[in-house]
Amino acid sequence: MTAYADQKCYGNIIVFQRFDDQAMYPYFVNPSNDKAKKGGEKNKTIVIQKRKQKQYELLAQKKIEDVHTKKVEEKKNFDNKKQLDAAIAKEILENGEKKWMVQVALAANQNKASTVQSQLEAKGYKVVTSATTKGIRVMVDPANDYAIAQIIREKIIADNSLNMPSAWVFKWASLTPQ
């Protein structure tokens, strides 16, 4: 009987190495049909599971890419709309029809603006409000002529029941339809 120093298994091949020489002697094992079938079925099951896992990973990646693409498109559309709105506003301010307005207040919130608006409307003035970054601008309807706007301003200041001692006239170009 020969003694072996090392033995390694590679699937259906077992490799022996003797103590007395450096040669390697492969030994081929014939698998039985039952083992091959079971091994084949196991391998198929493993392959199918790996394939499903890969498909799930690919679907998840596709969903992430779709969400990212959608966000990029929304941002692009928002930026384009913003640029278009800015161009329209610039055109209106530079070339649009400007009227003279009498601003009577800059209210901190909508409730205060509504109070001032109702006071002025009760006196027969047509009032327009406009939101700004500093508050709600309350203005009396535009006049085509500076002199008429100045008369309206003086009339509002002189009316003590309104309690609006300061009002000012300025050129106004509305960016929204009124």
CA dist 16 and 22 (Å) reads 10
The answer to whether residues 17 and 4 touch, using CB atoms and an 8 Å cutoff, is yes
- Tell me if residue 60 falls in helix, strand or coil: helix
The answer to whether residues 151 and 167 touch, using CB atoms and an 8 Å cutoff, is no
pLDDT at 113 (0 to 100): 92
Q: Is the CA virtual torsion 16, 21, 22, 23 positive or negative?
A: negative
Question: Which DSSP letter does residue 13 get?
Answer: E
pLDDT band at 174 (very low <50, low <70, confident <90, very high): low
* Per-position DSSP letters for 97-151, written without gaps between them: --EEEEEEEEESSHHHHHHHHHHHHHTT--EEEEE-SSSEEEEEEEESSHHHHHH
pLDDT band at 178 (very low <50, low <70, confident <90, very high): very low
Residues 27-68: pLDDT tens digits? 555 655 555 555 556 667 777 777 778 888 888 899 999 999
Cβ-based neighbours of 172, under 8 Å, separated by 6 or more: 98, 99, 100, 101, 139, 142
Q: Comparing 23 with 148, which gets the higher pLDDT?
A: 148
pLDDT band at 12 (very low <50, low <70, confident <90, very high): low
pLDDT band at 80 (very low <50, low <70, confident <90, very high): confident
Find which of 6-15, 35-44, 50-59, 125-134 is predicted with most confidence, using mean pLDDT. 125-134
Q: Comparing 169 with 27, which gets the higher pLDDT?
A: 169
